């Protein structure tokens, strides 16, 4: 005689084979069947619920937690973990798994380990989920960090609603109505305010930390996790070489001059340190135009995507004096007091030399430089006072290669160049001033009649 329980099971299976698991195979909650017939073998038909699937769920493990829904999402369909059938053929004393699109989202390979009782799938992050039979209360950090550790998340920012406004409310709670959490997709938006596509807005922000852009747009700025390529947009605007193009961020694109004005924030007033006396230096008339490397680290060949020291996030240009400012072993000093106040001191360029005034100059001053800005007229060194004040000679009589009788600089390349240029010329009364200067002995000789013989300066 057959065992009573086995006999009951056989009868039940015979009925199911004839009628199907639910007798009608009506779609409910995305399932092929409503689950009404499933309680014949498992679940509890007396459960107080409007969902036949909840009634049909086994009481073992976390079945009810998944089918009843939770704080994190609506009920999960049976088909996400098991093949759903309309016949009794699945009653084979084996729990079959057939993972659905949610468990397999974003390339995950779901699996269940009967030894540990854990499953690995997209629903619970990359690590195995809590044990199926564990009595635990899940929170945000059960599946991912708060925030997640992966780029472009910032550990210092805890407000998820900023980048995931459709998923998380400003209160920190999930937006249950939107049903965007645990749906197999990453919904992101609102990282930037309205109008962010305007270069005047995102360009200026980039100047305070280009590395922050790379977090979303990729190390090469070709899209990254955002899928938006900085390079493609810049190229479409006519600047394919934006990462190595000086005037893309500052200076004058029309003329090609890289120095301000305009600065990286579009400012052009000299009273801003970011603009200051750049124009006076680059367009100098008392000397040759001053090269960028005379005051800043060389950026020849720099690519802002790989040169971390170029756009380093502080929004302030580095001042590093070159050889000209240090002529004679000088130690020049740059001091920035505020966005509108900065000075240069002890530079060779502005009088830190024999006969100079060792001037401290304001970087944001609008007062034009003259001869006496850097040295006396004449300087008080050597025999300057005797020759100019006593004898009435002009600067041009001894520095004919640099200045004319009207004291105008005629050869800017020979002025403020690190060398004292001495060349006799012009007339002194009726006498043509001629002679030879030795920089080694600091003496002049062979002067025209009316001057003097060889003399040490």
Compute the CA torsion angle 412, 418, 420, 422 (nearest 10 deg).
Answer: -50
- 391: how many CB neighbours lie within 10 A of its CB? 12
Co-location of 263 and 358 in the same domain: no
Co-location of 404 and 447 in the same domain: yes
Residue 280 forms part of a structural domain:
yes
User: CB neighbours of 409 closer than 8 A, spacing ≥ 6?
Assistant: 285, 286, 287, 402, 403, 415
Residue 145 forms part of a structural domain:
no
Q: What's the pLDDT score for residue 36? A: 59
pLDDT digits (tens, 9 = 90+) for 311-335: 887 778 999 999 999 999 999 999 9
Q: Bin 71: left if φ > 0, else alpha if -120 < ψ < 50, else beta.
A: alpha
How many Å apart are CA 390 and CA 376, to the nearest integer?
16
SS3 annotation, 376-401: CCCCCCCCHHHHHHHCCCCHHHHECC
Helix (H, G, I), strand (E, B), or coil: what is residue 224?
helix
Domain boundary, last residue among 281, 302, 319: 319
- 199: how many CB neighbours lie within 10 A of its CB? 15
Two tokens, residue 236: 């479409």
β-partners of residue 455 are 444
Co-location of 216 and 309 in the same domain: yes
Residue 148 forms part of a structural domain:
no
**Structural domain harbouring 255:** 210-319
User: CB neighbours of 93 closer than 8 A, spacing ≥ 6?
Assistant: none
Residue 133 forms part of a structural domain:
no
Q: What's the pLDDT score for residue 7? A: 44
Two tokens, residue 161: 């609603």
Co-location of 299 and 330 in the same domain: no
Co-location of 327 and 308 in the same domain: no
Distances in Å between the Cα of 64 and the Cα atoms of 114, 208, 269 are: 19, 51, 68
Residue 154 forms part of a structural domain:
no
Co-location of 79 and 92 in the same domain: yes
Q: What is the crossing angle of helices 210-217 and 199-206, to 10°?
A: 110
Co-location of 240 and 315 in the same domain: yes
Number of domains in the chain: 4
Residue 159 forms part of a structural domain:
no
pLDDT digits (tens, 9 = 90+) for 62-71: 999 898 888 8
Co-location of 326 and 358 in the same domain: yes
End-to-end CA distance of the chain: 135
Domain boundary, last residue among 44, 70, 98: 98
Co-location of 235 and 271 in the same domain: yes
Q: What's the pLDDT score for residue 124? A: 87
How many Å apart are CA 57 and CA 52, to the nearest integer?
9
Two tokens, residue 424: 């006799």
Shortest CA distance to 388 belongs to which of 401, 373, 374, 405?
405
Co-location of 427 and 330 in the same domain: no
Q: Bin 336: left if φ > 0, else alpha if -120 < ψ < 50, else beta.
A: beta
How many Å apart are CA 97 and CA 52, to the nearest integer?
21
Residue 179 forms part of a structural domain:
no
Co-location of 315 and 325 in the same domain: no
Domain boundary, last residue among 41, 76, 98: 98
Co-location of 230 and 307 in the same domain: yes
How many Å apart are CA 251 and CA 265, to the nearest integer?
11
Residue numbers in the chain where pLDDT is lower than 70: 1-36, 86, 126, 448-450
């Amino acid at each position: 005689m057959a065992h009573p329980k086995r006999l009951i099971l056989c009868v039940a299976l015979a009925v199911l084979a004839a009628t199907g698991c639910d007798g009608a195979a009506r779609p409910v909650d995305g399932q092929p069947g409503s689950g009404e017939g499933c309680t014949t073998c498992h679940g509890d038909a007396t459960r107080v619920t409007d969902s036949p699937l909840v009634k049909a769920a086994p009481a073992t493990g976390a079945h009810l937690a998944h089918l009843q829904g939770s704080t994190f999402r609506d009920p999960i369909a049976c088909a996400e973990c098991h093949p759903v059938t309309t016949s009794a053929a699945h009653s084979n004393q084996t729990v079959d798994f057939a993972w659905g699109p949610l468990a397999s989202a974003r390339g995950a390979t779901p699996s269940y380990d009967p030894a540990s009782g854990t499953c690995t799938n997209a629903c619970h992050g990359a690590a195995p989920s809590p044990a199926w039979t564990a009595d635990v209360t899940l929170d945000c950090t059960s599946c991912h960090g708060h925030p997640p550790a992966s780029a472009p998340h910032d550990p210092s920012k805890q407000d998820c609603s900023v980048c995931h406004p459709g998923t998380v409310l400003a209160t920190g709670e999930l937006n249950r109505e939107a049903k965007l959490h645990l749906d197999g997709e990453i919904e992101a938006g609102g990282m930037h305010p309205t109008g962010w596509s305007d270069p005047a807005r995102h360009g200026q922000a980039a100047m305070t930390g280009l590395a922050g852009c790379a977090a979303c747009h990729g190390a090469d700025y070709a899209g990254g996790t955002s899928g938006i390529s900085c390079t493609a947009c810049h190229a479409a605007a006519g600047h394919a070489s934006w990462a190595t193009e000086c005037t893309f961020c500052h200076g004058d694109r029309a003329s090609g001059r890289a120095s301000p004005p305009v600065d990286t924030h579009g400012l052009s007033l000299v009273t801003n340190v970011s603009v200051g006396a750049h124009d006076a230096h680059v367009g100098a008339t008392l000397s040759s135009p001053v090269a960028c490397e005379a005051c800043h680290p060389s950026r020849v060949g720099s690519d802002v995507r790989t040169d971390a020291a170029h756009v380093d996030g502080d929004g302030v240009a580095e001042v590093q004096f070159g050889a000209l400012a240090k002529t004679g072993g000088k130690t020049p000093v740059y001091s920035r007091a505020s966005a509108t106040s900065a000075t240069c001191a002890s530079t060779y360029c502005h009088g830190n030399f024999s006969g100079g005034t060792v001037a401290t100059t304001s970087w944001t001053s609008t007062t034009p430089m003259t001869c006496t800005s850097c040295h006396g007229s004449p300087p008080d060194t050597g025999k300057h006072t005797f020759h100019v004040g006593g004898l009435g000679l002009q600067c041009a009589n001894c520095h004919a290669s640099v200045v004319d009788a009207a004291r105008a600089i005629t050869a800017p390349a020979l002025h403020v160049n690190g060398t004292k240029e001495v060349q006799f010329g012009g007339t002194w009364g009726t006498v043509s001033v001629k002679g030879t200067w030795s920089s080694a002995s600091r003496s002049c000789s062979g002067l025209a009649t009316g001057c003097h013989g060889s003399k040490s300066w």
